Chain A
Amino acid sequence: MAWQWFHRLGSPRWFYQKTNVWLPWLALASVVLLSVGTVWGLGFAPEDAKQGNSYRIIFIHVPAAFLALAGYYIMAISGAIGLIWKMKLSFAVMRAAAPIGAVLTFISLFTGAVWGKPTWGTYWVWDARITSMLILLFLYIGVMALSQAVSREQVADKASALLALVGTVNIPIIYKSVDWWFTLHQPATIRLTESSSIDPSMFYPLLTMIIGFYCMYAWTLLTHTRALLLRREVRTQWAQQELAGGK
């Protein structure tokens, strides 16, 4: 009995109808937070004493990297739940999370390269942080490819969930790489246990952008999951009703 709520959560129909209500709010929150954060960060936050204006790329670089890492856990944990409880919904979440995570990883690598040129003097180095981030991109692409590679959907789900789970090893490595080894990449600025080494006038717009990215991530993930569910369940009655009602 205690697990009943959990199994109901796994029902695609229930999920589809519940999230319908959340989507507009998530969309509104992401648009507002991201616009406020962008204008605040790019227009009103002071420039950095050493890096001048080029530091402003952190307002995209840092939130994208945060979500690239957090999104991997979302993908892997959904895969694990799917493996254990054989839940269609959680496999759909896993499949939906892979391309979003890949795009966020690419954004953080790309903005990092753009930032690296004026500050470090190079676009790319093979240090531990940047290389492990590149491996994360390949893991996301691997999960995407594997989930499309097998025509039997259940087999593809299982295989990509296993790959996602094995890849979780990389996440703490990315996170701690700047502390464990000598890297060109600087250590973390925002720390949970100690005080952050960023001035409050720059930290608050950054925080706004991070929360905005979280909202945008949730919005994109839900929208993509819903689309995948409709396609998988297209023969069921509820999906037919939703499709007919949407027109």
Chain B
Amino acid sequence: MHPVRKQRLILVLVLVTLSSVAVGFVTYAMRENMDYFYAPSAFAAGEVPFEKRIRAGGCVVPGSVQRAEDSLDVRFVITDGEAELAVVFDKILPDLFAEGEAAVISGRLMQDGTMRADQVLAKHDETYTPPEVAESMVSHESCADGAKI
């Protein structure tokens, strides 16, 4: 290879390496801010501020969803396998919201440790199966398998 071209090749590699390192440091410094939501164990560890708009994510514990009979009010519990967080919500839940599935909740953490939600989003997983295949598999409605979030 011609020495001039070799020099330019080295310059290009240095440019890419240096910019990767720089961006790597920035993302490393912001690693917690890059998370879209807190896991329930972060709430249990006291890392989440009270009365501030935050997001929580976790698997909806099967059997924990309680709906009010005269209003849209709903209460449920989410978990990440280590800790649990109680959520109250008073609007319409998304279609894919289900027990044993993940959900991401925006709202405020109240002093009593429950979360008052103003938005609930359903987080679907990366598996795609036809209904017949899904039925023949073991029921998926539990948060046991690592409570993937």
Interface 9-mer from B43-51, B62-70, B71-79, B120-128 = B120-128
Q: Which B1-40 residues sit within 8 Å CB-CB of chain A?
A: 1, 5, 8-9, 11-12, 15-16, 19-20, 23-24, 27, 31, 34-39
Given A173-B23, A184-B104, A202-B128; A120-B36 close (CB under 8 Å): no
* Size range of the chain A interface in the assembly: 35 or more
CB neighbours of A173 from chain B (8 A): 23, 27
| Cβ contact within 8 Å between B36 and A128 | yes
Bound CA–CA A187/B123 (angstroms): 11
B17 and chain A: residue at smallest CB distance? A169
Given A83-B8, A127-B36; A47-B131 close (CB under 8 Å): yes
If over half of A's interface residues share one DSSP class (helix, strand or loop), that class is named, otherwise mixed; here it is: loop
Given A49-B130, A50-B96, A173-B27; A180-B34 close (CB under 8 Å): yes
* Size range of the chain B interface in the assembly: 35 or more
B19 to chain A, nearest CB (A): 5
| Cβ contact within 8 Å between A84 and B9 | yes
Bound CA–CA A33/B15 (angstroms): 39
Q: Which A111-166 residues sit within 8 Å CB-CB of chain B?
A: 118-122, 125-128, 162, 165-166
| Cβ contact within 8 Å between A184 and B123 | yes
A189 at the binding interface (Cβ < 8 Å): yes
CB neighbours of B101 from chain A (8 A): 50
If over half of B's interface residues share one DSSP class (helix, strand or loop), that class is named, otherwise mixed; here it is: mixed
Scoring B residues 102 to 137 as 1 if CB is less than 8 Å from chain A, else 0, what string do you get?
001000000000000001111111111111111100
Q: Which A191-227 residues sit within 8 Å CB-CB of chain B?
A: 197-199, 201-202
CB neighbours of A119 from chain B (8 A): 94-96, 122, 124
A80 at the binding interface (Cβ < 8 Å): yes
Scoring A residues 37 to 63 as 1 if CB is less than 8 Å from chain B, else 0, what string do you get?
000000000111111000100100000
B residues lining the A interface (CB < 8 Å) = 1, 5, 8-9, 11-12, 15-16, 19-20, 23-24, 27, 31, 34-39, 57, 93-98, 101, 104, 119-135, 149
A residues lining the B interface (CB < 8 Å) = 3, 46-51, 55, 58, 80, 83-85, 118-122, 125-128, 162, 165-166, 168-170, 173, 177, 180-184, 186-189, 197-199, 201-202
Q: Can you list the 5 inter-chain pairs with the closest CB atoms, starting with the nearest? A: A121-B94, A49-B134, A46-B130, A127-B36, A197-B127
